């Protein structure tokens, strides 16, 4: 590929408040669902009263070190930075009538710093950090009342930051609720399918209401959804495998269908009937859902395989979604299969399906990085991973897919969402902190820092074809 990315293409990195900020009770912040997950999104839940160590309480201390980190992002050449606003900083319990001014003022400072470096913020309203009070006392999104609470929160931040933020996302990886109900939606684990899908419905309505508010209050802004783009391939050409892959892909595409088309697809009507699910969908809900998103954003890390003929499921602990193993692909140390071409496939799939611009807002490699005797981190494996995936993004652009931008996950080492580890590192910037919380929090540029900087500066012209091409 000899190809230059468009001048309008947004380059950057992506983070979440609960994985970088720390300061978990500072300036009036309330506890969030993340604050009771010291072992990660798929680990055991623990009460804060037990005194358990939670590495996210400090994380990488972005709350106090953001000027230094944003300076490094500027040095990389970022034109955008995806961050989330911690809902419980703005409404500590989630059901208050008035927001926490200290929480609002903190994000004013973040946006000031980003503007100083000409970096466009891409803001997620809810990134796995619902106020804990809403989960404990309202059972999360199972309760319709949360729609109003989220609407109030969205209106508050739109009023405060609307002239500063041009790209908004409603919920992070909204389809994860199917796999981890507490992390995704504050819904008690083990809830039945009726309860789960009713909560998902309330979440989708709340998203649509936020979209409507954004369109009314901020006509120059764009707002999208965010899905985990984990496509499943048929393991064999047997028609049963092909059909099963289609069905499993519909499980996550359904969220995009509702938010992009404004109504429930017919295949879900059949599924609900077969599962004995009867959702409470009001006429007002139907009207609200018609307010559709402006673009599709998604994360992409891996693909999987489906077969009805034998058990092909991965056994690695961190493969939370139990995706079948593809015999043609290599895996990371955490069992996530590496499939760069899959990113091109997902881009084409989503654009063909929705004909809306795409935004790749998460993609990266979690790996164990070591500092060598010269104090350097030689992460050639990350360079290879990013090169091969970005090369496929370039191919998708040449396919005619409209892509707004790419934000790597995460540009700076942060706490892993799934395992709550620092040792599962994603960044092109190293943070000196280990899984037990030891370290100076010093920031060190990895070898991949300069590589990514050069990719951005050249608009992708220095990307090389994958070795197997």
Tell me the average pLDDT across 122-144. Answer: 97
The average confidence (pLDDT) of the chain is 95
Of 129, 291, 362, 395, which residue is the catalytic one? 362
Residue 342 belongs to domain spanning: 10-229+338-457
Give the count of domains, the chain: 1
- Domain membership of residue 391 (yes or no) is yes
Residue percentage of the chain with pLDDT more than 70: 96
- Domain membership of residue 464 (yes or no) is no
Tokens 């059972």 belong to which residue?
139
Is 283 catalytic? The answer is no
Of 173, 180, 244, 395, which residue is the catalytic one? 173
Which CATH number do you get for residue 158? 3.20.20.80
Greater pLDDT, 277 or 375: 277
Q: What is the pTM of this model?
A: 0.96
Residue 319 has pLDDT above 90, yes or no: no
- Domain membership of residue 112 (yes or no) is yes
- Domain membership of residue 4 (yes or no) is no
- Domain membership of residue 42 (yes or no) is yes
- Domain membership of residue 210 (yes or no) is yes
- Domain membership of residue 385 (yes or no) is yes
- Domain membership of residue 158 (yes or no) is yes
Residue 311, pLDDT score: 58
Is 220 catalytic? The answer is no
């Amino acid at each position: 590929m000899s190809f230059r990315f468009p001048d309008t293409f947004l380059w950057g990195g992506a983070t979440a408040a609960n994985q970088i900020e720390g300061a978990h009770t500072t300036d009036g912040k309330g506890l969030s669902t993340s604050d009771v997950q010291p072992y990660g999104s798929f680990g055991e839940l623990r009460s804060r009263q037990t005194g358990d160590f939670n590495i996210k309480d400090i994380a990488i201390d972005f709350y106090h070190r953001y000027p230094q980190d944003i300076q490094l992002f500027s040095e990389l050449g970022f034109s955008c930075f995806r961050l989330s606003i911690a809902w419980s900083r703005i409404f500590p319990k989630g059901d208050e009538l008035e927001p926490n001014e200290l929480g609002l003022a903190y994000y004013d400072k973040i946006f000031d710093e980003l503007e100083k470096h000409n970096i466009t913020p891409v803001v997620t309203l809810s990134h796995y950090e619902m106020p804990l009070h809403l989960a404990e006392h309202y059972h999360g999104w199972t309760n319709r009342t949360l729609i109003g609470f989220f609407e109030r929160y969205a209106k508050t931040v739109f009023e405060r930051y609307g002239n500063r933020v041009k790209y908004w996302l409603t919920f992070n990886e909204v389809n994860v609720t199917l796999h981890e109900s507490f992390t995704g939606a504050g819904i008690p684990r083990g809830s039945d399918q009726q309860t789960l899908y009713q909560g998902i419905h309330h979440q989708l309505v709340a998203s649509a209401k936020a979209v409507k508010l954004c369109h009314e209050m901020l006509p120059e802004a764009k707002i999208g959804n965010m899905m985990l783009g984990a496509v499943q391939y048929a393991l064999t050409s047997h028609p049963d495998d092909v059909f099963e892959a289609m069905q499993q892909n519909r499980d996550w595409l359904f969220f995009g269908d509702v938010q992009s088309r404004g109504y429930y697809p017919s295949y879900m009507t059949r599924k609900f009937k077969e599962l004995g699910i009867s959702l409470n969908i009001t006429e007002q809900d139907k009207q609200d859902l018609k307010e559709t998103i402006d673009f599709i954003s998604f994360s992409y890390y891996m693909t999987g395989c489906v077969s009805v003929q034998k058990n092909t499921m991965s056994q690695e602990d961190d493969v939370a979604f139990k995706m079948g193993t593809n015999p043609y692909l290599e895996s990371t140390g955490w069992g996530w299969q590496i499939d760069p071409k899959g990113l091109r496939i997902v881009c084409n799939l989503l654009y063909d399906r929705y004909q809306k611009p795409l935004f790749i807002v998460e993609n990266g490699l979690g790996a164990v990085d070591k500092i060598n005797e010269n104090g350097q981190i030689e992460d050639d494996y990350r360079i290879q991973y990013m090169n091969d995936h970005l090369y496929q993004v370039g191919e998708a652009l040449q396919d005619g897919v409209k892509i707004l931008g790419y934000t790597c996950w995460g540009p700076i080492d942060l706490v892993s969402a799934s395992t709550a580890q620092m040792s599962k590192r994603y960044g092109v910037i190293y943070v000196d902190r280990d899984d037990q919380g030891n370290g100076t929090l010093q920031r060190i540029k990895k070898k991949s820092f300069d590589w990514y900087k050069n990719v951005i500066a050249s608009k992708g012209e220095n990307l090389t074809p994958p070795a197997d091409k």
